[in-house]
Amino acid sequence: GNSVTQMEGPVTLSEEAFLTINCTYTATGYPSLFWYVQYPGEGLQLLLKATKADDKGSNKGFEATYRKETTSFHLEKGSVQVSDSAVYFCALSDQPSGGSNYKLTFGKGTLLTVNP
């Protein structure tokens, strides 16, 4: 079955530091990969996505590249801000097929705290 393993937290950084949150996956076929973010007191929201190998997803200064050879989708940001403090989830989904699988498989989440 599908699974997602992401770097355990919590991660604490100073403002303007470089961020990497590792994510690796196991899946059959050719999944799409996602990073979701959950700010305090809110639901999750999609941060970025990539649907095929070597695609790079980017948003709000965050980037992640779909690496099929290493089955990875690591999240990076060059200079974090206090407002980036949140929980980050890596996720995957198989492409819809005749069986219509529209479920996401999530990693366990990584809490990021950025101090001023």
Please give the residue ranges that form the binding site for another protein (CB under 8 A): 32, 34, 38, 41-46, 49, 51, 87, 89, 91, 93, 95-96, 100, 102-104, 106, 108-109, 111
Q: Which is nearer to another protein, 45 or 115 (CB)?
A: 45
Specify the 3-state DSSP secondary structure of 83: helix
Q: In which region does residue 70 sit, left (phi positive, over 0), alpha (psi from -120 to 50) or beta (all else)?
A: alpha
CA angle 46, 56, 100 (to 5 degrees): 55
Residue 16 CB, nearest distance to another protein (Å)?
25
Hey, what amino acid is at 87? Answer: V
Hey, what amino acid is at 20? Answer: T
Residue 7 CB, nearest distance to another protein (Å)?
13
Neighbours of 76 (CB within 10 A): 15
Residue 29 CB, nearest distance to another protein (Å)?
14
Q: Which is nearer to another protein, 7 or 106 (CB)?
A: 106
Q: Which is nearer to another protein, 79 or 83 (CB)?
A: 83
Tell me whether strands 32-38 and 44-50 are parallel, antiparallel or unpaired. antiparallel
Q: Which is nearer to another protein, 23 or 91 (CB)?
A: 91
